[in-house]
Amino acid sequence: MKVDYSLYVCTDRDLMSSPTIEESVTLALKGGAGVIQLREKDISGRKFYEEALSLLSITKRYGVPLLINDRVDIALAVDADGVHVGQSDIPAKVVRHMIGDGKILGVSASNLEEAVRAENDGADYIGLGAVIPTGTKDDAEIVKFDEIRKIRDKVRIPIVIIGGLNENTIGRFKGMDLDGIAVVSAVVASKDPEKSARDLKELWLN
């Protein structure tokens, strides 16, 4: 599957304006999201599994990958397109072995050392951030412009930036040869998620 990382949307049931997560994701996809990440922190494994299955049927219709945040077991159980792990999760090298070469592996990084290690460990892309202070991850370390440039210079795999990105902030990062923007509230909390997704993607690409 060729992946369009330009607009990467993460779910958040606590922030979404839509009545269901299925509707939230559908609207993001209609607006042009190229990747959906299902992120759940506070629901049971069974509920997470059922939700992932439900969303997978939607993302498949749009030809867009569904990635599971953190939970390699859920990703394997539903045969999701891949998984995204952070620095405190199961090591990327181990995850790659678990999911095989045919699945997408994303790894969070906030500095050059983490980014290079992620690539060496088999990551398909790096989620780099937070690039701007954000309310959805208030403990995140901020990655400075110089560090972003160093990482882009050293790492060959796609880089998706995350953290505080919206229509007012993404312009700061254009022209840095980055592959996409990952957003949460800028789309899922919007009163019109489809339009917000479309506008963000257009702003980023043009």
Q: Which residues are catalytic?
A: 39, 108, 137
Strand 159-162 to 82-85 pairing? unpaired
Helix axes 145-154, 112-120, angle to 10 degrees: 30
- Name, in order, each residue with C-beta under 8 angstroms of 105's C-beta and a sequence gap of 6 or more: 82, 83, 84, 85, 92, 95, 96, 99, 122, 123, 124
Query: Which tokens go with 36?
Result: 């959906």
Question: Alpha carbon of 103 to those of 7, 95, 107, 136: distances in Å?
Answer: 19, 10, 13, 27
